[in-house]
Amino acid sequence: MTSQVRGVQLARLLGQWHALPGRRRSPDYAALAAAVRGLLADGRLPLGVRLPAERELAEALRISRTTVTAAYRQLRETGHLASRRGAGSWTMLPGTHRVASTGLWTPLDDRDMLDLGVAALGAPPELVPVARAAVEDLPRYLSGAGYHPTGIIELREAVARTYTARGLPTSAEQIMVTNGIQHALDLVLRLALVPGGNVLVESPTYPNALAALAARRARITTHGLAVDGIGWDADLLLGSVRQTRPKLAYLIPEFHNPTGHLMAAELRERLVATAHAAGTDLVVDESFVDLPLDDTPLPPPMAVFDRHSRVISIGGMSKPFWGGLRIGWVRASAPQVQRLAAARVGVDMASPVLDQLVAVHLLAQAPAIVAARRAQLVTQRDALLAALAERLPDWRFDVPRGGVTLWVELDGPISSALARAAEEVGVRLAPGPRFGLDGTLERFLRLPFTLPAADLVEAVGRLAAIRYDLDRGAGRPRWREPAVIA
Ligand SMILES: Cc1ncc(COP(=O)(O)O)c(C=O)c1O
Instruction: Give the atom of ligand 1 at the shortest distance from the alpha carbon of 185.
Output: 4
Q: Give per-residue pLDDT as tens, 418-468.
A: 887 888 888 988 889 889 887 678 899 999 999 999 999 999 999 999 988
- Give the integer Cα–Cα distance in Å for 298 and 308: 23
Residues 391-412 pLDDT 10s: 999 999 999 999 999 999 999 8
Whole-number average pLDDT of the chain:
89
> What pLDDT does 112 receive?
73
How does pLDDT run across 289-335, given as a tens digit for each residue? Answer: 999 999 989 999 999 999 999 999 999 999 999 999 999 999 999 99
Q: Which of 186, 203, 287 to mutate to test the pocket of ligand 1 (most atoms within 8 A of CB)?
A: 287
| C-beta separation of 325 from 130 below 8 A | no
Q: Which residues contact 276 (CB under 8 A, 6 or more apart)?
A: 307, 308, 310
> Is pLDDT of 22 > 60?
no
Ligand 1 atom nearest to CA at 485: 14
pLDDT-above-90 percentage for the chain: 69
The mean pLDDT of 94-122, rounded to a whole number, is 68
**What's the CA gap between 414 and 230, in Å, rounded?**
25
- Read off the pLDDT of each residue in 230-252 and give the average, rounded to a whole number: 95
Instruction: Give yes or no for residue 176 CB within 6 A of ligand 1.
Output: no
User: What does DSSP say about strands 105-107 and 405-409: parallel, antiparallel, or unpaired?
Assistant: unpaired
**Single-letter amino acid, residue 324:** G
Ligand 1, atom 2: closest residue by C-alpha: 287
The Å distance, Cα 319 to ligand 1 centre, comes to 8
Q: Is the CB of 448 under 6 A from ligand 1?
A: no
Kindly report the length of the chain. 486
Q: How far is the CA of 11 from the centre of ligand 1 (A)?
A: 44
Ligand 1 pocket mutation pick from 185, 189, 319 by most atoms within 8 angstroms of CB: 319
Q: How far apart are the first and last CA of the chain?
A: 39
Candidates 208, 483, 128, 178; CA nearest to 326 is 178
User: Would you say the CB of residue 322 lies under 6 angstroms from ligand 1?
Assistant: no
CA 187 to centroid of ligand 1, rounded, Å:
14
Closest ligand 1 atom to residue 120 Cα is 14
- Residue 47 pLDDT grade (very low, low, confident, very high; cuts 50, 70, 90): confident
| pLDDT higher at 382 or 217 | 382
Whether 259 lines ligand 1, by a CB cut-off of 6 Å, is no
Instruction: Pick 110 or 200 by higher pLDDT.
Output: 200
